[in-house]
Amino acid sequence: METRSLGTSDIQMTPVILGTWQADTGGWRGVDESELVRAIRDAVEAGITTIDTAEVYASGRSEQLIAEAVSDLRDRVVYASKVFADHLKYDQVLAACDRSLKRLKTDYIDLYQIHWPSGAFNSEIVPIGETMDALNTLKEKGKIRAIGVSNFSRSQMEEAARYGRIDSLQPPYSLFWRDVERETMPYCVENNISILAYSSLAQGLLTGKFGPDHQFQEGDHRNKNKLFQNPDHYRRVQEALDRLRPIAAEKGCTLAQLSLAWLIARPRTHAIAGARNSSQVEQNVKAAEVRLSPEDLENIDRIGRIVTDHLEEDYPIMWNFG
C-alpha cells in the first residue's frame, strides 16, 4: 500500500490505518482477543503498517495486544498512541508515555497524541503549554517522533501550535460526520497537518449492515451515538445508503470500501478503520484500491449531505455520553 508523509515529519503512514479501540470490550461487544491479535498481524502483512491505539483503550490492553501481534515487526510498523485528558500535567505525560512504551514493547512511539483537550470528561484544567513542554521533551529524548492532537477545535490547535510542531489531528470524520470540514480542515491543509479520521465508517453505519430496526446490545456505546439515537437522522442514513449501493456495485466494492475510498481522497486525510478479525482487515485493505473519478467523488459527497445537512450547526462530538 502506498504511504503518505505525516505532517512535515519524515514518518510515512498508510492512507488506511488500523484502529484498535475495539480491544475495549467494555464498549464493544463480540470481540475475541485472539482473533484481534491475528487481525493486527494480518493487517501489517497485508500492507496496513500504521496502527492507532491509546492508553485508555481497555486500560492499556490494546497496546499490549499490538505488541503481542507485531513487536517482532517493529521496524515495519508505525505506532500512533495517545495520552488521555487526565494525564496532561508535565510529569503525568512523561509517566503515561513510559507506560505505553512498556506495554508496546518499544523504545519509541512514532506519533504521540493528546487524546482529548484538557478539561474533557471533567478532567483537571492544565495549560496547553505545560502539556506541550512535556511532549517536546519526549520528542527531544527520542521517545516520540511526532506530536498530534485529537478532538481539538481549530482554536485549540492554534494555541497548541504556539508551543511546538503539531503534525496531526485526529477527529471524528466520515461521509456521515463532517464537522471537521467547517474550520479545522482548512487550517490543517494550510499548515501541512495530517488528518487521521476516526469513526471513518460512522461506527459501522457505512457498512450498510444495520437496517432500519437494528438494536445494539446493552452496553454498546453506539447506543449513545447521535446518528443512531435520533430517528430522523437514522432514517436519512438509510436513504443515503440506498443511493450509495448502486455506486458501490458499479465499482465492484462494498459500501464500506466505497466510503473509505471517498474519505482518503479528501485533503490530507487518512482513514482509521477498526477490524475485529482478519476478514475485516482484508476488506479494509481493498478500500485503498478503489478508484473514484472527480464525478464519483462529487456524487458521493452530495449523497452524504442527505445526512450531514440536517445535523446541528456545530456538531464536533458524535456521542451523547451525558
Distance CA 318, CA 196 (A): 16
How confident is the model over 141-198, as pLDDT tens digits? 999 999 999 999 999 999 999 999 999 999 999 999 999 999 999 999 999 999 999 9
CA distance 99 to 147: 17
Among 57, 79, 112, 234, the one annotated catalytic: 57
Q: How many CA atoms lie within 13 A of 74 on its CB side?
A: 12
* Furthest-apart CA atoms within the chain: distance in Å: 54
Interval 87-116 mean pLDDT: 98
What digits encode the pLDDT tens for the residues 30-71?
668 899 999 999 999 999 999 999 999 989 999 999 999 999
Task: State residue 42's pLDDT score.
Answer: 96
Could you give the 3-state DSSP secondary structure of residue 230?
A: coil
Strands 109-114, 144-150: pairing kind: parallel
pLDDT > 70: percent of the chain:
89
In this predicted structure, the answer to whether residue 216 has a pLDDT above a threshold of 70 is: no
What domains appear along the chain, each with residue ranges and CATH number? 4-204+256-291 (3.20.20.100)
What grid cell was written down for 82?
A: 495517545
How far apart, in whole angstroms, are the C-alpha atoms of residue 192 and residue 194? 7
CA 189 and chain centroid, separation: 18
Q: Could you tell me if 11 and 298 are in contact, meaning their C-beta atoms sit under 8 angstroms apart? A: no
Whether 57 is catalytic is: yes
All cell numbers assigned to 302: 452530495
pLDDT at 79: 98
Average pLDDT of the chain? Answer: 92
pLDDT tier at 270, thresholds 50, 70, 90 = very high
* Secondary structure (DSSP) of 58-122: GGGHHHHHHHHHHGGGGGG-EEEEEE-GGG-SHHHHHHHHHHHHHHHT-S-EEEEEE-S-TTGGG
- DSSP bridge partners of 198: 172
Alpha helices per DSSP H over 176-222: 184-190
Which tens digit of pLDDT belongs to each residue from 222-247? 666 678 777 888 899 999 999 999 99
Q: How far apart are CA 274 and CA 280, in angstroms?
A: 8
Beta strands in 130-198 (DSSP E): 144-150, 168-170, 194-197
Residue 315: DSSP 8-state? -
Lowest mean pLDDT among 87-96, 210-219, 260-269, 308-317: 210-219
In order of 1, 131, 302, the CA distances from 173 in angstroms are: 22, 25, 16
Residue 256: pLDDT above 60?
yes
pLDDT at 214: 61
> Residue 70 has which C-alpha cell?
507485531
Q: What is the pLDDT, as a whole number, of residue 231?
A: 83
pLDDT level of residue 7 (50, 70, 90 thresholds): very high
Q: Which of 135, 12, 120 is nearest to 56 (CA)?
A: 120
Q: What is the mean pLDDT of residues 26-30?
A: 53
Position 218 scores a pLDDT of: 60
